[in-house]
Amino acid sequence: MAFLIDTDIIIYSLKGNQKVLDWFEAKKNLPKFISCVTYGELVYGAKKSSHPEKNLATVRRVAGIFPVLDLTRDIMELFGGLKAILSSQGKTLDDMDLLIAATAIHLNLSLVSNNDKHFQRIPDLFLENWRDK
């Protein structure tokens, strides 16, 4: 299976979290991607940091390692449907997280995130947590 790596896992890897780094090593031969939403979140974090130029260069290196997946009309339709279902159940979720989840579902990718509580509410989402395993 291929993986969509969430923002938090990228940050853990950049900070040298050994569990996350071990999983990246164990899965080194499998395809890994990031969403354009994750890319935007990383750019935001870099620009608000105390070293924006240095951190922005790191973000660009990350995007060179992991292909950045754009949002498509099909992903947006899935997003809208998921948001409607969750809303009707009283289970709200941040739109950015829901866009990332819709991308993973649409492309049949396993989402790698430490935000289990948020993402477990989403039906048909393959979810892995490399931080806690």
Residue 34 in tokens? 């990031």
Residue range 48-63, pLDDT digits in tens: 999 999 999 999 999 9
Q: What is the pLDDT of residue 123?
A: 87
Q: How confident is the model at residue 2 (pLDDT cuts 50, 70, 90)?
A: very high
CATH number at residue 61: 3.40.50.1010
By C-alpha distance, which of 118, 133, 116, 114 is closest to 5?
A: 114
Residue range 76-129, pLDDT digits in tens: 999 999 999 999 999 888 999 999 999 999 999 999 999 988 899 898 999 999
**Residue pair 101/69 in contact by the 8 Å Cβ criterion:** no
Judge whether 19 lies within some domain: yes
Q: How confident is the model at residue 132 (pLDDT cuts 50, 70, 90)?
A: confident
Judge whether 22 lies within some domain: yes
Q: How confident is the model at residue 71 (pLDDT cuts 50, 70, 90)?
A: very high
Q: Average pLDDT in the 12-22 region?
A: 96
Judge whether 15 lies within some domain: yes
In the chain, how many domains are there? 1
Judge whether 40 lies within some domain: yes
Q: Average pLDDT in the 20-44 region?
A: 97
Judge whether 133 lies within some domain: no
Q: Name the β-bridge partners of 127.
A: 111
Judge whether 73 lies within some domain: yes
DSSP 112: E
Q: How confident is the model at residue 133 (pLDDT cuts 50, 70, 90)?
A: low
Judge whether 82 lies within some domain: yes
**Residue pair 26/122 in contact by the 8 Å Cβ criterion:** no
Its domain, for residue 51, covers 3-128
Q: Name the β-bridge partners of 112.
A: 5, 128
Residues in the chain: 133
